[in-house]
Amino acid sequence: MTDQPAHQNDNRELARMLAILGEPNRLFLLDSIINGIQCNCELGKSLSLSPNLVSHHLSVLQEAGIINAARDKNDARWIYYSLNEESSERIKELFNIFFDKKRIKPCSSVCGPDGHQENYCKND
Protein backbone atom coordinates (compact mmCIF):
# COMPACT_ATOMS: atom_id res chain seq x y z
CA MET A 1 0.00 0.00 0.00
CA THR A 2 1.40 3.40 -0.94
CA ASP A 3 1.18 6.49 1.21
CA GLN A 4 -1.22 9.16 0.01
CA PRO A 5 0.05 12.74 -0.25
CA ALA A 6 -1.28 14.85 2.62
CA HIS A 7 -3.34 17.03 0.29
CA GLN A 8 -5.24 13.98 -0.97
CA ASN A 9 -6.27 13.15 2.59
CA ASP A 10 -7.26 16.79 3.13
CA ASN A 11 -9.27 16.69 -0.11
CA ARG A 12 -11.10 13.55 1.01
CA GLU A 13 -11.91 15.16 4.34
CA LEU A 14 -13.08 18.35 2.60
CA ALA A 15 -15.20 16.33 0.16
CA ARG A 16 -16.84 14.51 3.06
CA MET A 17 -17.66 17.80 4.80
CA LEU A 18 -18.97 19.33 1.58
CA ALA A 19 -21.24 16.32 1.02
CA ILE A 20 -22.64 16.70 4.52
CA LEU A 21 -23.06 20.47 4.34
CA GLY A 22 -24.23 20.39 0.72
CA GLU A 23 -27.64 19.11 1.80
CA PRO A 24 -29.72 22.32 2.11
CA ASN A 25 -31.66 21.32 5.24
CA ARG A 26 -28.45 20.47 7.09
CA LEU A 27 -26.87 23.74 6.02
CA PHE A 28 -29.95 25.67 7.24
CA LEU A 29 -29.94 23.76 10.53
CA LEU A 30 -26.26 24.52 11.01
CA ASP A 31 -26.88 28.17 10.21
CA SER A 32 -29.51 28.29 12.97
CA ILE A 33 -27.16 26.57 15.41
CA ILE A 34 -24.34 28.98 14.60
CA ASN A 35 -26.67 31.81 15.62
CA GLY A 36 -26.92 30.33 19.10
CA ILE A 37 -27.57 27.10 20.94
CA GLN A 38 -30.87 25.65 19.80
CA CYS A 39 -33.07 22.88 21.11
CA ASN A 40 -34.47 20.23 18.82
CA CYS A 41 -38.00 21.65 18.87
CA GLU A 42 -36.86 25.16 17.90
CA LEU A 43 -34.85 23.82 15.00
CA GLY A 44 -37.78 21.87 13.60
CA LYS A 45 -40.08 24.88 13.76
CA SER A 46 -37.56 27.17 12.08
CA LEU A 47 -37.43 24.97 8.95
CA SER A 48 -40.95 23.52 9.05
CA LEU A 49 -39.53 20.01 8.94
CA SER A 50 -40.98 16.90 10.54
CA PRO A 51 -39.30 15.87 13.81
CA ASN A 52 -37.88 12.64 12.34
CA LEU A 53 -36.27 14.54 9.44
CA VAL A 54 -34.79 17.13 11.81
CA SER A 55 -33.42 14.30 13.97
CA HIS A 56 -31.87 12.60 10.95
CA HIS A 57 -30.09 15.73 9.76
CA LEU A 58 -28.91 16.62 13.26
CA SER A 59 -27.57 13.08 13.69
CA VAL A 60 -25.57 13.38 10.48
CA LEU A 61 -24.10 16.72 11.62
CA GLN A 62 -23.34 15.32 15.07
CA GLU A 63 -21.74 12.10 13.76
CA ALA A 64 -19.50 14.23 11.52
CA GLY A 65 -18.43 16.18 14.60
CA ILE A 66 -19.76 19.46 13.21
CA ILE A 67 -22.17 20.02 16.09
CA ASN A 68 -22.37 19.05 19.75
CA ALA A 69 -25.47 17.77 21.50
CA ALA A 70 -26.29 17.96 25.19
CA ARG A 71 -29.39 16.54 26.82
CA ASP A 72 -31.27 18.58 29.39
CA LYS A 73 -30.31 17.46 32.88
CA ASN A 74 -33.91 17.49 34.11
CA ASP A 75 -35.71 16.16 31.04
CA ALA A 76 -33.64 14.10 28.60
CA ARG A 77 -36.22 14.55 25.85
CA TRP A 78 -34.78 18.03 25.25
CA ILE A 79 -31.51 18.16 23.36
CA TYR A 80 -29.51 21.34 22.89
CA TYR A 81 -27.25 21.70 19.87
CA SER A 82 -24.20 23.91 19.52
CA LEU A 83 -21.42 24.38 17.00
CA ASN A 84 -18.29 22.30 17.50
CA GLU A 85 -15.81 25.16 17.16
CA GLU A 86 -12.81 22.86 16.61
CA SER A 87 -14.60 21.22 13.70
CA SER A 88 -15.59 24.61 12.33
CA GLU A 89 -11.97 25.72 12.41
CA ARG A 90 -10.89 22.50 10.68
CA ILE A 91 -13.41 23.02 7.87
CA LYS A 92 -12.14 26.57 7.38
CA GLU A 93 -8.56 25.26 7.39
CA LEU A 94 -9.42 22.68 4.72
CA PHE A 95 -10.95 25.40 2.53
CA ASN A 96 -7.89 27.59 3.01
CA ILE A 97 -5.56 24.73 2.11
CA PHE A 98 -7.57 23.85 -0.97
CA PHE A 99 -7.87 27.43 -2.23
CA ASP A 100 -4.35 28.54 -1.28
CA LYS A 101 -2.97 30.79 -4.02
CA LYS A 102 0.43 29.14 -3.60
CA ARG A 103 -1.06 25.97 -5.08
CA ILE A 104 -1.71 27.68 -8.42
CA LYS A 105 1.10 26.73 -10.77
CA PRO A 106 1.90 27.90 -14.27
CA CYS A 107 0.20 26.02 -17.04
CA SER A 108 2.02 22.85 -17.98
CA SER A 109 -0.36 21.55 -20.63
CA VAL A 110 1.17 20.38 -23.86
CA CYS A 111 -2.11 19.22 -25.38
CA GLY A 112 -3.55 20.51 -28.58
CA PRO A 113 -2.91 20.00 -32.26
CA ASP A 114 0.62 21.39 -32.16
CA GLY A 115 1.49 20.54 -28.58
CA HIS A 116 1.56 24.26 -27.82
CA GLN A 117 -0.11 25.99 -24.94
CA GLU A 118 0.22 29.66 -25.91
CA ASN A 119 -3.45 30.08 -26.76
CA TYR A 120 -4.75 28.44 -23.62
CA CYS A 121 -2.42 29.22 -20.76
CA LYS A 122 -1.28 32.47 -19.27
CA ASN A 123 2.43 32.85 -19.79
CA ASP A 124 4.32 34.95 -17.29
Tell me the DSSP string of 52-70.
Answer: HHHHHHHHHHHHTTSEEEE
What are the residue boundaries of the structural domains of the chain, listed by start?
6-103
Give the pLDDT confidence score for residue 24 in this predicted structure: 95
In this structure, which topology does domain 6-103 adopt according to CATH? Answer: Arc Repressor Mutant, subunit A (1.10.10)
Instruction: Report pLDDT digits (tens) over 11-46.
Output: 999 999 999 999 999 999 999 999 998 888 888 887
Is the CB of residue 69 less than 8 Å from the CB of residue 58? yes
pTM: 0.78
pLDDT of 78 over the 70 cut: yes
pLDDT at position 124 is 47
**CA quadruple 7, 8, 10, 11: dihedral sign:** positive
What's CA 37's distance to the chain center, in Å?
19
What is the rounded distance in angstroms from the CA atom of residue 89 to the CA atom of residue 92? Answer: 5
